[in-house]
Chains A and B, each alone.
Chain A
Amino acid sequence: MTNHFDKKDLLGIRDLTPSQITHILDTAQTFREVSTREIKKVPTLRGRTVINLFFEASTRTRTSFEIAAKRLSADAINISASTSSMTKGETLLDTARNLEAMAPDCIVIRHSSAGAPDQLAKICKAAIVNAGDGAHEHPTQALLDALTIRERKGRIAGLKVAILGDVLHSRVARSNIFLLTKLGATVKVAGPGTLVPSEFGQLVEEGLEIERSIDDAIEDADVVMVLRIQRERQDMAFFPSMREYAVHFGVNRKRLERAAPDAIVMHPGPMNRGIELSSDVADGSRSLILDQVANGLAVRMAVLYLLAGGAHSGETADLGRR
């Protein structure tokens, strides 16, 4: 396996070409096997340093990046907001400059401010991976979603995907819209009017539609993606009550009947059970929520490999058993 990825950073899906996206997905596919082995480790990134710089709470993503780095034999260091110098008043860019002085190969950053990874990328030699920035992008989430869809449906092109809920505050929605439309899917978006701005339809040139109702968006969908209500980003009430949200905008078994017979259901987590997604659907046979998590690991291994690995030295991935 050779490494043709020619980008220094992964800041978002919007600036990737379809072939770059496919290359990451193909690479991830080959890494999936590593996690099925008895000894889940390859020497690919031995001697490389990956810093996970998380300024926002995260269980899934941070653990996933950490395990991904470790299974590739990289040295992984985790820094979270509470332990960083940020609490002593240091700015983000100063923190980055200090970390940079220790010559890491890759910095994975999650931050509540949109654009923080872009700002880091301008001053750091290390590869910057965006693990979620404000309401901007969450590229590895969209990649793992795509890997999950591709695995189940065999393709992305031509699929009908419904993305439902709090689109306004969702970086997952943005990255998914960019990725899915780049690969030829049709995306329909719906949710409360306060959380689905009408201008959202102009986000991409083609392949995106804003639907008035959840039901219209679900109609004939091959993939139903349910978004988390992001209460932490909502500075005012965007809807009257959780009860009303669950009734009018929540995805449940009955609503799902409108979708294609073999439709799959996804959620980026963490889930508000019984509100945006009913438990019978979340735990049902159509739900791929745990597949998403497993694929997340493979995607992050692929991203770390492509950005911090052989890319810069021309090495090939060494997936051989030790």
Chain B
Amino acid sequence: MRLLIANGYVVDPSQGQNSGRNVLIEDGRVAGLLNYGDGIPEGVEVFDAAGMIVAPGFIDMHVHLREPGQEYKETIASGVAAAVAGGWTSVCAMPNTQPINDSSAVTRFIIEQANRAGLANVFPIGSITKGSEGAELAEMGEMKDAGIVAVSDDGRPVPSAGMMRRAMEYARGFGLTVIDHCEDKSLAKGGVMHEGRMSLMLGLKGMPAAAEDTDAVRDCLLAELTGASVHLAHVSTRGAVEAVRQAKERNIRVTCEVAPHHWALLDSAVEGYDTNMKMSPPLRSQEHVDALIEGLRDSTIDCIATDHAPHHQDEKELEFDRAPFGITGLGTGIGLALDRLVHKGVISIERLVELCSVNPAKIMGLDGRGTLRKGAWGDVTILDPDCEWTFKSSESKSKSRNTPFDGWKMRGRAVATIVGGRVVYKS
């Protein structure tokens, strides 16, 4: 099977490519970039990408697919459908399912379900500790053999520095990146939003930025100590960005991601007590948002990941302090990035492709992804950077509707998603 993505503009920073080219995909792999003048090879299916940007497939390295265990919120099938509709060719699935993905059996189940759904690639992330309880190491080697690409106790961060050190040392031996959700629970306990003027005003218990900062600094120090590859999930504070910046200057192997809501919204959005404004880490105040923007600009931040966290409406429709943390993100991440970052001049389109494709592939060790080099997987995200559209949560493929972005108008979106040379989504 051969597919020619014709007449598009290829943006692929992995090979310094930024020009009008046709992309030929054969048997699921990139066969090469062709000049327009080379004409159309015989017997190929042609996808006309005139006026579009053709990029190596976008990888959302932080999603919650809820299966096994919470299929009423999301299934792997509904999650990958939402992913490809949002422009993501691959997703990395966090392990906080029920049961936790702390064994090869759960890892294999996730991969089987993903194969059955057959839309986006799903790369499972295993837990760091058994049951994500922070006490004993999970069987990382067994899970790696079954297909995990990284380890994380996302949402229930390893509280003990000693335990985290052991985890980093052990994971390093398997070449697994350790992903940490930085939150010192002794500081953030009971908090439901960013601590500051707004939380005091609204009478809601706050989570201080220092709760994220202290763990971020700790992880950078432990990364230095152990030489492990450490990735900080959804950084949301000035202190966390600064910790990563300093660690990188000292050549410590630390990377980080940012979630779109953390730079698209402020903590003041919690006013009105809409539980779709509740997530962890929480929406922060302006100084932190400014620091995130600066981190995106100066390459301290490596990736954009959505932290897609579906919850059923019944669970979200509670008092603010009783509702669960988390919002969906697969449908809005790329649109927000184009609208709020690229069009506002914060980052270039090349940098967007680095943030959403090249860097996630490197950090997660996904060979043959994040690039359109010859021989790479035929995963392609096609962007219409100028398309004006309105996000409607009711049209989302996700089973959940917990988004703060319903009705948002955006300029730019993914208009087609190609996985392994197959067009799995076209708007």
Q: Do A and B originate from a single complex?
A: yes
Q: How many A-B residue pairs have CB under 8 A?
A: 59
Give the segment of A75-83, A133-141, A214-222 that binds chain B. A133-141
Binds B, one of A32-40, A64-72, A148-156, A195-203: A195-203
Q: Are B197 and A113 in contact (CB under 8 A)?
A: no
Shortest CB-to-CB span from A307 to chain B, Å, is 20
B202 contacts which chain A residues (CB < 8 A)?
114-115, 136
A6 in the interface (beta carbon within 8 A): no
Q: Tell me if A92 and B318 are in contact (CB < 8 A).
A: yes
A113 and B321 contact, Cβ closer than 8 Å, known pairs A118-B273, A119-B273, A235-B190: yes
Q: Determine the distance from Cα of A244 to Cα of B81 in the docked complex, in whole angstroms.
A: 61
B200 touches A200 (CB 8 A): yes
Q: Indicate if the CB atoms of A92 and B203 lie closer than 8 Å.
A: no
Q: In the complex, which residue of chain B has the Cβ closest to the Cβ of A94?
A: B317
Contact A91 B317 (CB under 8 A): yes
Q: How many Å from the CB of A63 to the closest CB on chain B?
A: 24
CB distance from A268 to the nearest CB of B (A): 15
Would you call B201 an interface residue if the criterion is a C-beta within 8 Å of the partner chain's C-beta atoms?
yes
> For A111, what are the chain B residues with a Cβ–Cβ distance below 8 Å?
319
- Interface membership of chain A positions 177-219, coded 1 if the CB is closer than 8 angstroms to chain B and 0 otherwise: 0000000000000000000010110110000000000000000
In chain A, residues 1-41, which have Cβ atoms closer than 8 Å to a Cβ of chain B? 14
Query: B199-221: contact bitstring with A at CB < 8 Å (1 yes, 0 no)?
Result: 01111110000000000000000
Of A113, A135, A200, the residue contacting B319 (CB under 8 A) is A113
Shortest Cβ gap from A142 to chain B (Å): 14
Bound Cα distance A114, B322 (Å): 10
Please, which residues of chain B bring their CB within 8 A of the CB of A137?
Answer: 203
Residue of chain A at shortest CB distance from B272: A118
| B190 A114 Cβ-Cβ under 8 A | no
A113/B322 contact (C-beta < 8 A), A91-B317, A199-B196, A235-B189 known: yes
Closest residue on chain B to residue A202 by CB atoms: B197
Q: How far is the CA of A92 from the CA of B321 in the complex (A)?
A: 13
Which B residues are CB-close (under 8 A) to A93?
317-318
Tell whether B320 is near chain A: CB-to-CB under 8 Å: yes
The answer on a CB contact under 8 Å between B197 and A115 is: no
- CB interface residues, A 124-169, toward B, < 8 Å: 133-137
Of B196, B200, B319, which contacts A115 at CB under 8 A? B319
Complex CA–CA separation, A135 to B204 (angstroms): 7
Docked-complex contact A199 and B318, CB < 8 angstroms:
no
Q: How far is the CB of A210 from chain B (nearest CB, A)?
A: 12
A115 to B323, CA, bound (A): 12
Instruction: Say whether A136 contacts B197, CB under 8 Å.
Output: no
User: Does A256 lie at the interface of the complex (its beta carbon under 8 Å from any beta carbon of B)?
Assistant: no
Shortest beta-carbon distance, B162 to chain A, in Å? Answer: 24
**A116, CB-defined interface residue at 8 Å:** yes
| Residues 318-346 of chain B, each 1 if its beta carbon lies under 8 Å from chain A, else 0 | 11111000000000000000000000000
- Determine the residue in chain A with the shortest Cβ distance to B270: A115
Number of interface residues of B (CB under 8 A): 19
Q: When chains A and B are docked, how far (Å) is the Cα of A235 from the Cα of B190?
A: 9
Tell me if A115 and B190 are in contact (CB < 8 A). Answer: no
The reply on A174 being an interface residue by CB < 8 A is: yes
Which chain A residue has the least Cβ–Cβ distance from B317? A93
CB nearest neighbor in B for A197: B200
Asked if A14 contacts B201 (CB within 8 A), the reply is yes
Q: A110 an interface residue at 8 Å Cβ cutoff?
A: no
Chain A residues with CB under 8 Å of B321's CB are 113-114, 134
When C-beta atoms are compared, the residue in chain A nearest to B273 turns out to be: A115
Assembly CA distance A171 to B314 (angstroms): 28
In the complex, which residue of chain A has the Cβ closest to the Cβ of B186? A236
Which B residues between 245 and 282 are near A, CB-CB below 8 angstroms?
Answer: 272-273
- Minimal Cβ-Cβ distance residue in B for A133: B203
Quote the shortest CB–CB distance from B325 to chain A (angstroms): 15
Contact with B along A93-128 (1 / 0, CB 8 A): 100000000000000000101111011000000000
How far, in whole Å, are A312 and B318 apart by their CA atoms in the complex? 30
- A91 to B200, Cβ gap below 8 A? no
> Taking the nearest CB of chain B, how far is it from the CB of A94, in angstroms?
9
In the assembled complex, the CB of B139 is this many whole angstroms from the nearest CB of chain A, namely: 36
A116 / chain B contacts, CB cutoff of 8 Å? 319
Distance (whole angstroms) from the CB of A184 to the closest CB of chain B: 20
The smallest beta-carbon distance between A169 and chain B, in angstroms, is 9
Interface centre among A133, A199, A202, A203 (most CB of B within 10 A): A199
B residues in contact with A118, CB < 8 Å: 272-273
B196, B203, B317, B321: most-surrounded residue (chain A CB, <10 A): B203
Residue from B189, B200, B321, B322 with most neighbouring chain A CB atoms (10 Å)? B200
Interchain nearest-CB distance for B43 vs A (Å): 59
Also in contact, A174 and B203, with CB within 8 A (given A91-B317, A114-B273): yes
Contact call A92/B319, Cβ cutoff below 8 A: yes
How many angstroms from the CA of A199 to the CA of B319 in the assembled complex?
A: 25
Beta-carbon contact of B197 and A114 below 8 Å: no
Could you say which residues of chain A place their CB within 8 Å of the CB of B319? 92, 111, 113, 115-116, 119
Interface string of B175-201 (1 = CB under 8 A from A): 000000000000001100000110011
Residues B200 and A199 in contact, CB atoms below 8 Å apart: yes
Interchain Cβ contacts under 8 Å between A and B, 15 examples? A91-B314, A113-B321, A114-B202, A114-B203, A118-B273, A134-B203, A134-B204, A135-B205, A136-B204, A174-B201, A197-B200, A199-B197, A202-B200, A203-B197, A235-B190
The 6 closest A-B pairs by CB, nearest first: A136-B203, A115-B273, A113-B319, A135-B203, A114-B203, A202-B197
For the A-B complex with A113-B319, A174-B203, A203-B201 known, give 12 more contacts whose Cβ atoms are closer than 8 Å: A14-B201, A91-B314, A91-B318, A93-B317, A114-B202, A114-B321, A115-B273, A135-B204, A136-B203, A174-B200, A174-B201, A199-B200
Q: Which residues of B contact A (CB under 8 A)?
A: 189-190, 196-197, 200-205, 272-273, 314, 317-322
